[in-house]
Structure 1
Amino acid sequence: MLNRRALLSGGAAALAGAGAGGVLAAARGGGAGQAGLVAATGAAVEIPAHTPGTPLPLVVVNHTYRYANREIWFYVVGTDLSTGRQVYGRPDGGVTEVAAGVDGADIAIPLAADGDTVAAIPVGMSGRIYVSIGARLDFRVVADGAGRPALQYPAGWVRDAPGYAVLHDFVEFTHNAAGMFCNTTMVDMFSVPLLLRLHGDGDQTTGRVVPGGRDAIFAALRAIPAFAPLVVDDLRVIAPGHGIDAGLFPAAYYDSYVDAVWSRYASRPLAVDAAGRRVTGRVVGDTLTFDGPVASFARPSSRDVFFCDGALGAPNDGVTGPVAAVLGAGFNRSTLLADAAQPTADPAVFYRDTVTNHYARVLHAHTDNGRAYGFAFDDVGGQASYVEDRAPSQLTFVLTPF
């Protein structure tokens, strides 16, 4: 499995960093795709058949019922998996390597004048599909860690970032020889209600916000004093971790809960099922240490909890990483004091503590089947808005009603 940090760390030079944590599946398997699928609207739009190993047909559907196609652009940006270099997708599924002098106008793909828009997702690429409404996004070109040209992605959680005033959002994907793996992420922010429908061996849909859900999400978070400053006008809600960085959210929010967890498991064991094994941990001194093989965690800050990073960082090592994912989920869902065996499987008992991730709670409450990516390891227990197909034939990307 490939976590969301690893997915984008080889690519985007995001202004404030790419969203941390979560899961996009890695490669395995394969298979032949289906062909001849129709557009989501049922309109007479010709969609090419998909041959494995070639760009995947993408249909972009404007069902906002508020904005005309001429007001909407999308962008396919990310990393070429064969070279590790930053690229952006063209409408035909080809890619262009990022170079000095590229700007948002070069990258933006307008929707068709009317009806659905047919394009393609490059093969051998991992990245994001952004959508902007009312104006194009400004993707700046900067140097990556190796001095090569790379895109600086929009950061809707940074007030002086390019594109902050533009209504926009994004989904994440990896498309390679093993298939298509994608999610509607809200780990960094929530703005535009988006839906992904992945066709292939199956027909899967994820990310649908319930009718009236966008307004309800904004209203519910405005009603919680600590979370209200995260709502940026009618543009977006930013995630609490970014709120801490921006000075909009209490940096000590989770301290009392973390203290209670550390106190509880200094006197009794905490059992964690992860990566097919059960490990047991106790707090000794100020460190939570698990046995066989050893994984240790310092006391996390509130920022560490929201980002599932820092003291709760999850390397792809098969040892610390899987345990960290379960702990990150337990803190965000506030289940660690309620049950000494983790992860807790029943969503009905999530977010019950006064100190909890209300941002994630509210997102889950207003999405179909309760699936959302409200924090980095929302995939623990299968709660994330994620789909994959080993023999994909089409991805439909829908801007749903506001």
Structure 2
Amino acid sequence: MISRRKLLGSLAATAAAAGSGLALTGGRAEGAQRAATLPLTVVNRTGQFANASIWLYIVGNEGGRQVRVTPDGQLAPIALSDNGPDGWTDYAIPLAGSGDTKLTLPRMSGRIYVALGSRLKFKAVADGAGKPALQYPAGWVSGDPNYQVLHDCAEFTFNADGMFCNTTMVDMFSVPLAIHLTGAKDQTTGTLKDGARDKVFSDLAGTDAFESLVLGDRLRVIAPGHGLGAGLFPEDYFASYIDQVWDTYGSKDLKVTTNAGTFTGRVSGGRLSFTGPASVSFAKPSTKDVLFCDGALAAPNDGTTGPVAAILGAGFNRTTLHSSANQPVTDPAAFYTERITHHYAKAMHAATTDGKAYGFAFDDVADFASYIQDTAPTAMTLTLTPF
């Protein structure tokens, strides 16, 4: 499971792993009735693919069931009978013949997938409870039926509280996407600098330990956590940095400030233990725990352990944890300065015009994620930006 939580602000959000749907929840805003649908415009600015070669898929959850959006903007439940004779569903929404594509987005929580050049293959299956569910694309798995398809996605929740959405590179990066959200405010995120897609691929291809994450002829680059499972990334990559952090705070205090207050921690008996608003403790994490912000760094939505774990996860990935005894660090100039660091996330942030990206699960710590929200949304635009 990959979790996204706005732990330093008013929003809490979670996103489930591909194959089991996705859920994002926003804090309730007071007052006005919210619209039941939202205009969605999809803009093709790729410069390489015509509208006729691009397909959309809007899939996710609504009211405890897995659903998809039809081309006319209706919610339809996932059904096993949706699989055709070839074994795959046909949930594709084609773009307009020319110009921008105007759609209607109903209330739900999910992902907007874009596929370029070929359609994606989604399969309806029965989940552990026997309910219809959807197998999502996994571009980091060589045996996945969508491995050779150029595709990517944005994530969102649209509900009575408003629209909460982000571009994401937590799993992989392939198609540059930007989100423009209008309503109480006018906001855009995800826009890449000119030539930034090529630079991401070039930079990572030239970085030790990260070069194997670049797949195909610049088809995509996968996140290092998924590289672990594929044997493409060193399982002990962060080991020396983790040791350095543990050594540092064996002899001095680490202070972590959250909305609940400030926690004071020190390593003793092999664990990093904190006192403060509550007593929380963490075992020494592995590289996998750092990359997924899970395992020893798992962050329950409890208001105490969760916020501390998220800030620790961000500090490990940004490699600021050893050098600053006061966390979180909020100056991006201090991020990713070590030789052993999360070079994938570093490249993603360097690529965007606003410096924001979702390069790892808790990139929202101190508000560095490519995430925007509006409690009174009037329209959303998803743009496939130039390659």
Q: Residues 228-252 of structure 1: CA distance to partner in whole angstroms, max 9, x if unpaired?
A: 0000122100000000111000000
The answer to whether the 8 A contact 1:13-1:142 is kept is no
Contact 2:14 2:25 survives alignment (8 Å):
no
- The equivalent residue for 1:40 is none
Conservation of the 8 A alpha-carbon contact between 2:115 and 2:151:
yes
State the 1:24 CA deviation. Answer: 4.9
Partner of 1:96: 76
What is the identity percentage for the equivalent residue pairs of Structure 1 and Structure 2? 57
Whole-Å Cα distance in 2 between the matches of residues 31 and 72 of structure 1? 39
Can you list the C-alpha shifts for 1:102-144, whole angstroms capped at 9, x where unaligned? Answer: 2455211000010000112211x11100000011101111222
The one-letter code sitting in structure 2 at the alignment partner of 1:110 is P
CA distance in 2, matches of 1:236, 1:329: 24
Counterpart among 94, 97, 104 of residue 120 in structure 1: 104
Indicate the SS of the match to 1:164.
coil
Segment of structure 1 superposing worse, 138-147 or 193-202? 138-147
> In the alignment, what sits opposite 1:44?
none
Match of 1:311, SS?
helix
SS in 1 for 2:363: coil
Quote the residue 1:256 is aligned against: 240
Counterpart-to-counterpart distance in 1, 2:52 and 2:292: 36
Distance (Å, rounded) in 2 between the aligned partners of 1:105 and 1:116: 25
1:167–1:191 contact (8 Å) kept in structure 2: yes
Report the Cα distance in structure 1 between the residues aligned to 2:137 and 2:31, rounded to whole angstroms.
35
Describe the shift of the 1:209–1:172 C-alpha distance in structure 2 as closer, same or farther (beyond 3 A): same
Amino acid corresponding to residue 333 of structure 1 in structure 2: R
- 2:68 and 2:24 map into 1 onto residues whose CA distance is 19
Which residue number in structure 1 is paired with residue 45 of structure 2?
Answer: 63
Q: Aligned partners of 1:98 and 1:12: how far apart in 2?
A: 15
Determine whether 1:78 maps to 2:60.
Answer: yes
Q: Given the alignment, which residue of 185, 201, 205 partners 1:218?
A: 201
Counterpart code for 1:398: T
State the one-letter code of the partner of 1:382. D
Question: Which residue of 1 is the match for residue 90 of structure 2?
Answer: 106
- 1:12, 1:78 within 8 Å by CA — same for their partners in 2? no
CA contact (8 A) 1:30 1:390 kept: no
Mapping 1:131-150, distance limit 5 Å: 131-150=114-133
Shift of 1:337: 1.0
| Residue identity matched to 2:56 | F
Match in the other structure for 1:28: 28
8 Å CA contact 1:325, 1:380 repeated in 2? yes
Aligned equivalents of 1:186, 1:346: Cα separation in 2: 21
Alpha-carbon distance between aligned partners in 1 of 2:260 and 2:104, rounded to the nearest angstrom: 37
SS at match of 2:187: strand
Partner of 1:190: 173
The number of residues matched between the two structures is 373
Counterpart for residue 45 of structure 1: none
Q: What SS does the corresponding residue of 2:273 show, helix, strand or coil?
A: strand
Query: Could you tell me which of 374, 378, 386 is aligned with 1:389?
Result: 374
Amino acid at match of 2:219: L
Offset at 1:197?
A: 0.2
Alpha-carbon separation, structure 1, partners of 2:288 and 2:106: 35
Look up the equivalent residue of 1:314 and give its one-letter code.
A
Contact in 2 for aligned 1:31/1:52 (Cα 8 Å): no
Structure 1 residues without counterparts, runs of 5 or longer: 33-50
Residues 2-401 of structure 1: matches in 2 within 5 Å?
3-4=3-4, 7-9=14-16, 12-13=18-19, 24=24, 26-29=26-29, 52-80=34-62, 82=63, 84-103=64-83, 105-123=89-107, 125-233=108-216, 234-292=218-276, 293-401=278-386
Query: 1:60: how far off?
Result: 0.4
Shift of 1:4: 3.3
Corresponding residue for 2:10? none
Q: Describe the shift of the 1:30–1:397 C-alpha distance in structure 2 as closer, same or farther (beyond 3 A).
A: farther
1:13, distance to aligned residue in structure 2 (A): 2.1
3-state SS, counterpart of residue 368 of structure 1: coil
Give the structure 2 partner of residue 37 of structure 1.
none
Give me the whole-angstrom Cα distance separating, in 2, the residues matched to 1:366 and 1:321: 29
Q: Distance in 2 between matches of 1:173 and 1:381?
A: 20
Instruction: Give the C-alpha shift of residue 283 in structure 1.
Output: 0.9
SS in 2 for 1:330: helix
In the alignment, the residues of structure 2 paired with residue 308 and residue 195 of structure 1 have an alpha-carbon distance, to the nearest angstrom, of 25
- Measured in 1, the distance between the counterparts of 2:143 and 2:18 equals 18
Mapped contact 1:171–1:182 kept (Cα < 8 A): yes
Cα offset for 1:276?
3.9
CA contact (8 A) 2:4 2:362 kept: no
Q: TM-score, normalised by structure 2?
A: 0.93
In structure 2, distance between residues paired with 1:210 and 1:367: 6
| 2: CA distance, partners of 1:398 / 1:148 | 34
1:39 alignment counterpart: none
Q: Partner amino acid for 1:65?
A: G
Q: CA 1:30/1:165 → structure 2, altered by over 3 Å: closer, same or farther? A: farther
| CA positional deviation for 1:101 | 2.6
